[in-house]
Amino acid sequence: MDTNAAPVEPAPGHLGEYDHAAVEARWRRVWAERGDYRTDLDLPDRPFYNLMMFPYPSAEGLHVGHIIPFAGGDIYGRWRRLMGDTVFEPMGFDAFGIHSENYAMKIGEHPAVVMRRAVANFRENQLARIGSMFDWSHQVNTAEPSYYRWTQWLFVRLFNAGLIEWREGAVNWCPSCLTVLADEQVEQGRCERCHTPVQTRYLRQWWIKITRYAQEMLDALDTLDWSESTKTMQRNWIGRSEGATILFDLEGCRRKDVTVFTTRPDTLFGATFLVIGADHPELEDFVPPERMGEVNAWRNKFPPTAAEPDFSIGMELGSSAIHPLTGARLSVWAAPYVLGGYGTGAIMAVPGHDARDWAFARAHSLPIVEVITGGNVDAAPYSGAGTLVNSGDFDGATSDDGGRRIIARLSELRRGQSSVQYKLRDWLISRQRYWGPPIPIIHCPKDGPVAVPEEDLPVLLPDVEDFRPRGTGLSPLATVEEWVNVPCPKCGEPARRETDVSDTFLDSAWYHLRYPSTDFDDVPFDKERTDTWLPVNMYIGGNEHAVRHLLYARFVMRVLHDMGLVPSPEPYTRFRAHGMIIMDGAKMSKSRGNVLNPDEYIERYGADTVRLFMMYLGPYTLGGDFRDKGITGMTRFIHRTWRATQLATGGDVTDDARERRRHRLIKQVEEDVAELRYNTAIAYLMEFARDLDHESADGTARRIDAETLLKLLAPFAPFVTEELWERTGHDGSVHERGTWPAYDAELAAPQRATVAITVNGKRRGELEVDAGTSEANLAALALGHPRVVELLDGREPRKVIAVVDRIVNIVTG
RNA sequence: GCGCGGAUGGCGGAAUCGGUAGACGCGCGGGACUUAGGAUCCCGUGGGGUGACCCGUCCGAGUUCGAGUCUCGGUCCGCGCACCA
């Protein structure tokens, strides 16, 4: 065969030009008109809820990074549909929140106006073009009253269940955003949105008691089919740690005693002082009355949320504590290095065996005692295990055993017990901002905080002109007198509305419940619909939401399940975190100025090409480097498919080798798509398309191979495959449910095998054999191989290892 | 600091249970067709020698007939958490 000959081209015009813009516009229109992607939610055959994290509609629009979840999730959904599932794939908008509000302020427009414009742009100009089969008849928008009415309903239900509390606490205050931030919105002491150093304020706020579910949520992680990285992050965030609580008596202050938490009860005899968190809500109770003023002045002097720990900051309070076993008198300190919000907010300091306590003791000339052998505590803290010394009766015990015995002794004295603590904190949901759902509470002078009756919901967000935050600790809503003043729902006396709005994460914590029920306005989620569709079968999104959104959503689902309102305690059966797309080795972000708009790529190459290209960049769950150079490879692939499938008109249907090749392809693509290994699935399709193209050129290409290629490619490139399906004479859609080709495992298995021959581990030849040729036969064939005979030169091999279909290794002396 | 990933040609990445390293694509080289091509198609492409040979998967040890893959030690990169007692 002349290898340089170009394939025979058909007469010009025969195939038509591939015009991606025309093809995609046409099928977008046809699909919309026919309602191909409207799901019958009431009579699903095999319901499959395929969800992708919804975006917040920023004014900048989508960037190429968004294609990853939206196209990647859609490919999976389209595949499930071809496999026979009734796939529900909705999309919506996380439209409330500080981010949208800040942008509105920047451009001096009302957030509602900005939001409506951004949503329209996202939906009509961007999401609609990427070829995902979103069912827009069930769109969700968290900023619409028809949605946030039910967010408020959820708040009321949580409140009535005793899971929401109004209490004072040290909170993170962003002096630029002029609002409270949750702990997880603070990054290294700075606001995650504007990077301003965060301050601490003491305010009365609304908290959701998520900590009650810490253990349950930790345990249930084992039952979830989620990305391991995500589960690990949740485990770390929940942060279970085991240890003991120990009671110390106090003298010289209002409090009689204090409980501390430690993970090292074996070091109890090394405790030489106590430290109370500087942000402890009841710090004053630890201070002798005459020193109260001095301590408060000190406490207000420094920002407790410092970026870098500073162990020189601390103050001796003047009261003292009594060691529960030795009776020794220990000094009591306050310092910011101890967190008022974790454990009991107070610690016993064991400077010999804890690095932080050691640094503090050194800075303040406090005694350091060795109670565990293994280091030199004068030179450095030793935090490993060892043998107890200077510990009275417990000397000589190991750390483990000593710890257990000390807890037992404390227990007898009613001075301590083993204990479990979690890093997870309660969820602070108050925001002193405008652009969110008003918290549905009315404060009555007589009845205290009263939930707005469910029939009075929604509490509409009043339309105010000046929505900018005040910085007073009060939301802009507080200035709307006619809105704030209402009668108490309980007693009818004059009362005032809560003026804070709730955290955006409350909106997104339950949106998966709303999608199937958007056509119900009397309930947040219809029972039957919810039982049919929940939990979500597949959820795809970024790992940046691993611990907040995903944890809150799990919490809400669990609570609703305990209330008997939803069929499962977990919202998402399967979750996969997609990888991050980087650009020139750097994360894509606005601040780097390397955010790419997908519109121009779709315009230029078409959505099919862009989808394929993005999925081909690297392993889906690891991400990859975006360099648009390689996109031409995808254009070639689609052109090749365009040509090859239209020219494959007949062929020998019974051709055994080609039939085996076809079955093998189906198996490979199916197995890869099931595990989101899109890059390798595409590689197999390209290989197949290349072969088919060559066969088309010499007129032997089989129609069934073309059909198979179109079916397998359909989830990746929905437009062009649909067009070609029609052009190759088919009625109906290539995406029709349940039409994925089946493969025969026997046919998919290779029939011939190339077996390598190695001598002492070095490759010296190969054998072409029937697949499954026995080890004995392989060994015999290998020993008869001329090259092997030559190398052995009459010597007897010491050992011959043969592995069926793989290798023969001959070992000589 | 702690936790979790990762390191393979010029580049992105393949490689099942430990069994032919480099699938597929980009780029590059050569060719075909063209007035031209940054269009399209075909062939080649880890490095070195250029005869069937040697060297090659971050570095160093180890286990094994055989290691990209397993074990131990180290380096570098990314992500997450970061005073959590």
A55/A50 Cα distance (integer angstroms):
16
In this structure, is the CB of residue A762 within 7 Å of any atom belonging to strand B?
A: yes
Note the pTM of the prediction, 2 decimals.
0.91
Q: How many structural domains comprise chain A?
A: 4
In the structure, what pLDDT confidence band is assigned to residue A410 with cuts at 50, 70 and 90? very high
In this structure, is the CB of residue A282 within 7 Å of any atom belonging to strand B?
A: no
Residues 586-645 of A with CB under 7 A from strand B: 587, 616-619, 622, 624-625, 627, 629-630, 632-633, 635-637, 639-640
Please indicate, yes or no, whether residues A399 and A454 belong to a single structural domain of this protein: no
Across the range A572-578, mean pLDDT stands at: 94
8 A C-beta contact, residue A38 and residue A737: no
In order of A84, A280, A604, the CA distances from A45 in angstroms are 8, 57, 39
Tell me: pLDDT of A581 over 80: no
Please indicate, yes or no, whether residues A407 and A457 belong to a single structural domain of this protein: no
Give SS3 for A799: strand
8 A C-beta contact, residue A176 and residue A191: yes
Please indicate, yes or no, whether residues A501 and A629 belong to a single structural domain of this protein: no
CA of A744, C1' of B58: distance in angstroms:
43
Question: Residue A697 belongs to a domain with what CATH number?
Answer: 1.10.730.10
Task: Tell me which of A456, A489, A505 is where a domain ends.
Answer: A505
In this structure, is the CB of residue A35 within 7 Å of any atom belonging to strand B?
A: no
Residues 667-706 of A with CB under 7 A from strand B: 677, 679-680, 682-683, 686-687, 690, 693-694
Task: Tell me which of A728, A744, A760 is where a domain ends.
Answer: A744
CA of A811, C1' of B47: distance in angstroms:
28
Question: Residue A276 belongs to a domain with what CATH number?
Answer: 3.90.740.10
Task: Tell me which of A690, A718, A744 is where a domain ends.
Answer: A744
Tell me: pLDDT of A6 over 50: no
Residues 346-365 of A with CB under 7 A from strand B: 347, 350, 354, 356
* Residue A178 belongs to some domain of the structure: yes
Sole residue written with tokens 């089969």: A133
In this structure, is the CB of residue A226 within 7 Å of any atom belonging to strand B?
A: no
Higher pLDDT, A561 or A457: A561
Residues 294-313 of A with CB under 7 A from strand B: 304, 306, 309-311
A406/A257 Cα distance (integer angstroms):
19
Please indicate, yes or no, whether residues A333 and A360 belong to a single structural domain of this protein: yes
* Residue A342 belongs to some domain of the structure: yes
Residues 443-472 of A with CB under 7 A from strand B: none
8 A C-beta contact, residue A8 and residue A698: yes
The continuous run of DSSP H or E covering A718 comes out as helix A718-727
Residue-number span of the structural domain to which A470 is assigned = 150-212+431-505
Please indicate, yes or no, whether residues A436 and A416 belong to a single structural domain of this protein: no
* Residue A138 belongs to some domain of the structure: no
In this structure, is the CB of residue A544 within 7 Å of any atom belonging to strand B?
A: yes
Which residue is nearest nucleotide B2, judged by alpha carbon to C1' distance? A236
Amino acid at A383: S
Please indicate, yes or no, whether residues A291 and A378 belong to a single structural domain of this protein: yes
User: Which positions of strand B lie within 7 Å of protein CB atoms?
Assistant: 3-6, 11-15, 19-21, 23-27, 30-33, 39-43, 52-55, 65-67, 78-85
Tell me: the pLDDT tens digits for A469-527? 777 778 888 888 999 999 999 999 999 999 999 999 999 999 999 999 999 999 999 99
Which structure tokens are listed for A795?
């010597």
Across the range A604-630, mean pLDDT stands at: 85
Please indicate, yes or no, whether residues A400 and A440 belong to a single structural domain of this protein: no
In the structure, what pLDDT confidence band is assigned to residue A624 with cuts at 50, 70 and 90? low
Residue A448: which of A490, A390, A388 has the closest Cα?
A490
Please indicate, yes or no, whether residues A703 and A719 belong to a single structural domain of this protein: yes
Helix pair A64-82, A598-605: axis angle to 10 deg: 60
A422/A165 Cα distance (integer angstroms):
19
DSSP-derived secondary structure letter, A445: T
* Residue A387 belongs to some domain of the structure: yes
Give SS3 for A644: helix
Across the range A311-338, mean pLDDT stands at: 92
Helices assigned H by DSSP within A83-144 = 98-107, 111-120
Please indicate, yes or no, whether residues A273 and A347 belong to a single structural domain of this protein: yes
Q: Return the bridge partners of A141, or none.
A: A93
* Residue A491 belongs to some domain of the structure: yes
Question: Residue A767 belongs to a domain with what CATH number?
Answer: 3.10.20.590
Please indicate, yes or no, whether residues A347 and A488 belong to a single structural domain of this protein: no
Measuring from the CA of residue A311 to each C1' atom, give the nucleotide at the shortest distance. B83
Tell me: the pLDDT tens digits for A145-200? 999 999 999 999 999 999 999 988 777 888 887 877 776 677 767 777 777 777 77
Which of A62-66, A113-117, A648-652: highest mean pLDDT?
A: A113-117
Tell me: pLDDT of A773 over 50: yes
* Residue A662 belongs to some domain of the structure: yes
By mean pLDDT, which of A249-253, A401-405, A612-616, A761-765 is the weakest? A761-765
pLDDT at A783: 86
A480/A299 Cα distance (integer angstroms):
35
8 A C-beta contact, residue A788 and residue A800: no
Residue A689: which of A718, A673, A709, A711 has the closest Cα?
A709
In this structure, is the CB of residue A664 within 7 Å of any atom belonging to strand B?
A: no
Tell me: pLDDT of A797 over 80: yes
Please indicate, yes or no, whether residues A197 and A263 belong to a single structural domain of this protein: no
Which structure tokens are listed for A800?
């011959």
DSSP-derived secondary structure letter, A537: S
Which residue is nearest nucleotide B39, judged by alpha carbon to C1' distance? A636
Across the range A585-596, mean pLDDT stands at: 57
A180/A168 Cα distance (integer angstroms):
13
In order of A101, A156, A237, A285, the CA distances from A53 in angstroms are 20, 25, 21, 47
* Residue A220 belongs to some domain of the structure: no
A715/A712 Cα distance (integer angstroms):
7
pLDDT at A221: 93
Torsion, CA A443, CA A447, CA A450, CA A456, rounded to 10: -90
pLDDT at A580: 73
* Residue A481 belongs to some domain of the structure: yes
In this structure, is the CB of residue A2 within 7 Å of any atom belonging to strand B?
A: no
CA of A668, C1' of B41: distance in angstroms:
28
CA of A680, C1' of B14: distance in angstroms:
8
Residue A341: which of A213, A230, A216, A200 has the closest Cα?
A200
Cβ of A708: how many Cβ atoms within 10 Å? 22
Tell me the torsion sign for CA atoms A369, A373, A375, A381: negative
Query: Please, what is the end-to-end C-alpha distance for chain A in angstroms?
Result: 46
pLDDT at A34: 94
Please indicate, yes or no, whether residues A494 and A630 belong to a single structural domain of this protein: no
Cβ of A504: how many Cβ atoms within 10 Å? 27
Measuring from the CA of residue A309 to each C1' atom, give the nucleotide at the shortest distance. B83
